């Protein structure tokens, strides 16, 4: 089911001319924000849940201007 929804989304984005980098950045930003919220703002828990190093998470948060929410 997720694969089908993702396929429809990708098809729509291609039809609308969304650039690859823009799509990747938007996905990463939203994914990080969602997981960060579900981890009550804990960077360590968020990095673990995402399967990335905490430093990588911090760098990406800076890139996407994501603020740490009070936990």
Show the domain range for 65.
Answer: 19-71
Q: What digits encode the pLDDT tens for the residues 46-62?
A: 999 999 999 999 999 99
Entry field: residues in the chain? 71
In a domain, 56, yes or no: yes
In a domain, 3, yes or no: no
Residue 28: burial class (beta carbons within 10 Å; 0-12, 13-18, 19+)? middle
For residue 45, the domain's CATH number is 1.10.10.60
In a domain, 13, yes or no: no
In total, how many domains does the chain have?
A: 1
Query: According to the model, what pLDDT value does residue 41 have?
Result: 95
Query: According to the model, what pLDDT value does residue 71 have?
Result: 47
In a domain, 67, yes or no: yes
pTM, whole model, 2 decimals? 0.86
In a domain, 42, yes or no: yes
């Amino acid at each position: 089911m997720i694969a089908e929804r993702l396929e429809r989304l990708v098809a729509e984005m291609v039809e609308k001319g969304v650039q690859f980098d823009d799509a990747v950045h938007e996905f990463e930003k939203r994914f990080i924000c969602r997981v960060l919220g579900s981890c009550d703002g804990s960077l360590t828990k968020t990095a673990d849940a995402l399967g990335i190093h905490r430093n990588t998470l911090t760098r990406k948060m800076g890139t996407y201007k994501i603020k740490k929410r009070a936990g």
